Amino acid sequence: MIFSFDFDSLIWANMRRRIRALGPDSFWYRFLAALLLVLSERVTRANWLLRQIWFETSDGSGLILWGQRWGIPPLYGEDLEAYRNRIIEERAHLRNPTNATRKAIVSQILLTPVADVEIVRVYDHVWTVGGPVGAPIASRDYAMTAYHIYAPTPIVGDLAERGARIRRLIDRITVGAGWPEIYLDAGVGSVPSSGQTVGRRIDAAPDSPLHVFHPF
């Protein structure tokens, strides 16, 4: 949602014949143009104020006001993006330890839609009671509490730093037993690089294509 005011469609197209004939030299043209400048400035300010209603879209002094409200002032020389990240980290323990919260954290840090973030419980797809001999086994605690978080790998230069931040924030909101494993999916056919591995999602079919993952 944004506010807009278009001079051409709202004023110029409906001007009187005389104003059209005289063009920019018309008194009314100059008057309306000056009015438009004022309205355009007000529209810009209104859009800025609208963004400051939510912390996620706030910027500039609006972001600083959010930090001051929560008792987290900016540090000397700290840029706004680093300041936003620090606010998110310092308030992580106040958020509900739900899958929705975990998805929101991953989405905010990777700048990817929440719909692209998925969480899968390990217990639902790997371990079964009375499985065949040679089937995967693990400790009961791991099987009951582990879960995988999948998200597409963003094209950024600080992927390792973002992954570490996700891990840190997820750990801060984990209450009781919990074993999160984070996998950033680079897709099928990618060439694995340092820190990446090739495999399938835990809920994928055995004959599905191999993906390249960056685990955290």
Please tell me the distance from the alpha carbon of residue 213 to that of residue 201, in angstroms, as a whole number. 9
- Residues making up the chain, counted from first to last: 216
pLDDT band at 45 (very low <50, low <70, confident <90, very high): confident
* Confidence band of 112 (pLDDT split at 50, 70, 90): confident
- Looking from the CA of 15 toward its CB, the CA atoms found within 13 Å total 22
Residue 136 has pLDDT above 80, yes or no: no
pTM > 0.75: yes or no: no
What's the pLDDT tens digit per position in 173-187? 776 667 788 888 887
Q: Taking phi first (over 0 means left), then psi (-120 to 50 degrees means alpha), and beta for anything else, what does residue 140 get?
A: alpha
Lowest mean pLDDT among 112-116, 173-177, 198-202: 173-177
Using CA atoms, how far residue 41 sits from 1, 24, 34, 44, 47, in Å, is 17, 21, 11, 5, 10
